[in-house]
């Protein structure tokens, strides 16, 4: 008992000495939080892993947990990419992730209410959560990190396409077979026009056989390009997907667009060692598949504010402290997040708004004038090549550019 008492005294002392993260939050329409480092979501990993990151608290190694909305919201995402006033007309974006997020629907409801969006619930048919086989139960085992990833994905769709229907398909584990089964389930669901995959792993000899699960003509399948900078991950390297890189997105007063984008240093890119080059890709320094195709905001420091409450500490001020100190897992309210886990569902939602997924991956290459060209920044060292350095036209980190309305999709 003495050890427990001593721990309690330490926690009380730290609580008094360290300001809670909520005290440093911004309001819903304020600029995103730019300071501090980044922290991984801590998703359970197997063959593949989630690609989300959160802003780290200045008071500890854990995430900055906020009581009120932080980061960008629907107004900023739609303004930056010219999407205001557009509608999905009943189309569905599917989110494929691993493990279960028990609070997914309630957290989504809180997010949408706080951001002024109409409800999207299972009761009204807008939201559905199923297992990898398409059934409501049994659901996979829950995981704090994947729950945070799921909140990011659901909120990103909501911010980009407020009237999109959302299907959440939860795979049994982060292994290739369960996740690809989940992709097939999503593709077979009526109404689904786009599927987002915010996870990845190193290429290996098994990926070409798994590619068949990503080959669903008429459905746009997006995949995050990676969060470790220059280097290729799968399924982004599959020729059947739209590989989505990442940018740093900032307001730019005095410009015609009102926004400026540069390469996010964490955006994955490069030349596949195994995947064949698609017919619609024509860059010359890579004989095989080049990553990425397009991009969207991914830098957590200019990231999306999301709402997630699935954690190992139960909620409340003490839980927030434990999360801040890295002594608990998950989140307890608003967190500012990013990674190419953010850019993938944003682009999937733009496909849904466009309603033209027939030639999905090839679409941007046929309509590059419908994109904002990102011309500066790098994600690593590759001898100055376009494979890791942004420039006019196509480059690896940001592909052909970021959405300028729906014309390229």
In this prediction, residue 25 carries a pLDDT of: 37
State residue 346 phi and psi, 5-degree precision: -60, -50
pLDDT at residue 30 tops 70: no
Which residues, at least 6 apart from 32, have a Cβ–Cβ distance to it below 8 Å? 26, 70, 71, 72, 301, 302, 303, 305, 336
What gap in Å lies between CA 288 and CA 237, rounded to an integer?
10
The DSSP element (H or E) to which 295 belongs, if any, is strand 294-297
- Average the pLDDT over 116-134 and give the result: 98
Which residues, at least 6 apart from 358, have a Cβ–Cβ distance to it below 8 Å? 217, 218
What gap in Å lies between CA 321 and CA 162, rounded to an integer?
33
CA atoms within 13 Å, Cβ hemisphere of 246: 36
Tens of pLDDT, residue by residue over 273-288, are 999 999 999 999 999 9
Tens of pLDDT, residue by residue over 140-192, are 999 999 999 999 999 999 999 999 999 999 999 999 999 999 999 999 999 99
Check: CB of residue 220 under 8 Å from CB of residue 246.
Answer: no
pLDDT band at 356 (very low <50, low <70, confident <90, very high): confident
pLDDT band at 82 (very low <50, low <70, confident <90, very high): very high
Mean pLDDT rounded to a whole number for the chain: 92
Q: DSSP class of residue 53?
A: E
- Average the pLDDT over 375-384 and give the result: 94
Which residues, at least 6 apart from 4, have a Cβ–Cβ distance to it below 8 Å? none
Task: At 17, list the tokens.
Answer: 């000495």
DSSP strands (E only) in 139-264? 165-171, 192-197, 199-200, 220-224, 242-251, 259-263
In this prediction, residue 32 carries a pLDDT of: 74
% of the chain with per-residue pLDDT over 70: 91
How many angstroms from the chain centroid is the CA of residue 283?
26
What gap in Å lies between CA 354 and CA 128, rounded to an integer?
22
Packing angle between helix 144-160 and helix 104-114, nearest 10 degrees?
40
Task: At 24, list the tokens.
Answer: 């440093």
pLDDT at residue 58 tops 80: yes
In this prediction, residue 359 carries a pLDDT of: 75
β-pairing verdict for 242-251 and 259-263? antiparallel
Which residues, at least 6 apart from 37, have a Cβ–Cβ distance to it below 8 Å? 56
Tens of pLDDT, residue by residue over 214-255, are 999 999 999 999 999 999 999 999 999 999 999 999 999 999
pLDDT band at 31 (very low <50, low <70, confident <90, very high): low
- Average the pLDDT over 49-76 and give the result: 95
Tens of pLDDT, residue by residue over 284-314, are 999 999 999 999 999 999 999 999 999 999 9
CA atoms within 13 Å, Cβ hemisphere of 221: 27
Q: In angstroms, what CA-CA distances link 195 with 168, 209, 215?
A: 10, 20, 12
CA dihedral 254, 256, 257, 260 (to 10 degrees): -50
In this prediction, residue 16 carries a pLDDT of: 36
pTM of the model: 0.93
pLDDT band at 14 (very low <50, low <70, confident <90, very high): very low
For the chain, give me the number of helices (H) and strands (E)?
A: 9, 18
pLDDT band at 36 (very low <50, low <70, confident <90, very high): low
In this prediction, residue 34 carries a pLDDT of: 59
Task: At 166, list the tokens.
Answer: 């959302």
- Average the pLDDT over 48-70 and give the result: 95
Q: Give residue 119's region: left, alpha or beta (phi > 0; psi -120 to 50).
A: beta
pLDDT band at 35 (very low <50, low <70, confident <90, very high): low
Tens of pLDDT, residue by residue over 90-117, are 999 999 999 999 999 999 999 999 999 9
With the C-alpha atoms ordered 378, 350, 196, 116, is the resulting torsion angle positive or negative?
positive
What gap in Å lies between CA 283 and CA 289, rounded to an integer?
10
What gap in Å lies between CA 39 and CA 227, rounded to an integer?
12
Q: In angstroms, what CA-CA distances link 373 with 56, 84, 237, 263?
A: 30, 20, 21, 11
The SS3 call for residue 262 is strand
What gap in Å lies between CA 18 and CA 164, rounded to an integer?
41
């Amino acid at each position: 008992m003495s050890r427990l008492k001593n721990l309690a005294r330490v926690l009380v002392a730290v609580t008094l000495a360290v300001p809670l993260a909520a005290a440093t939050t911004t309001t819903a329409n304020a600029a995103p939080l730019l300071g501090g480092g980044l922290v991984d979501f801590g998703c359970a990993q197997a063959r593949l892993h989630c690609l989300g990151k959160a802003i780290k608290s200045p008071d500890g190694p854990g995430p900055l947990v906020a009581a009120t909305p932080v980061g960008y919201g629907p107004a900023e995402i739609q303004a930056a990419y010219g999407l205001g006033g557009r509608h999905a007309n009943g189309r569905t974006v599917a989110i494929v992730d691993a493990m279960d997020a028990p609070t997914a629907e309630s957290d989504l409801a809180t997010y949408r209410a706080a951001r002024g969006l109409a409800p999207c619930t299972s009761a009204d048919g807008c939201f559905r959560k199923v297992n990898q086989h398409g059934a409501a139960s049994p659901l996979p085992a829950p995981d704090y990190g994947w729950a945070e990833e799921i909140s990011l994905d659901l909120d990103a769709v909501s911010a980009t396409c407020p009237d999109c229907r959302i299907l959440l398909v939860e795979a049994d584990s982060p292994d290739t077979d369960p996740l690809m089964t989940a992709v097939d389930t999503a593709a077979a669901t009526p109404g689904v026009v786009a599927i987002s995959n915010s996870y990845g792993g190193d290429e290996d000899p098994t990926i070409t056989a798994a590619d068949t699960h990503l080959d669903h003509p008429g459905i746009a399948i997006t995949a995050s390009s990676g969060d470790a900078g220059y280097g290729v991950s799968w399924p982004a390297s599959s020729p059947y997907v739209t590989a989505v890189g990442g940018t740093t997105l900032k307001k730019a007063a005095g410009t015609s667009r009102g926004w400026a984008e540069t390469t996010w240093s964490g955006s994955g890119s490069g030349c596949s060692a195994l995947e064949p080059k698609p017919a619609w890709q024509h860059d010359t320094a890579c004989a095989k598949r080049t990553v990425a195709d397009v991009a969207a905001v991914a830098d957590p420091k200019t990231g999306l504010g999301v709402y997630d409450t699935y954690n190992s500490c139960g909620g409340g001020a003490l839980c927030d402290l434990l999360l801040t100190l890295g002594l608990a897992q998950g989140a307890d309210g608003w967190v500012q997040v990013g990674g190419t886990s953010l850019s993938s569902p944003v682009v999937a939602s733009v496909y849904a708004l466009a309603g033209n997924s027939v030639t999905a991956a090839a679409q941007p290459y046929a309509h590059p004038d419908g994109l904002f060209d990102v011309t500066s920044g790098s994600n690593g060292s590759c001898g100055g090549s376009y494979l890791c350095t942004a420039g006019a036209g196509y480059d690896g980190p940001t592909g052909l550019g970021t959405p300028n309305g729906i014309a390229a999709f």
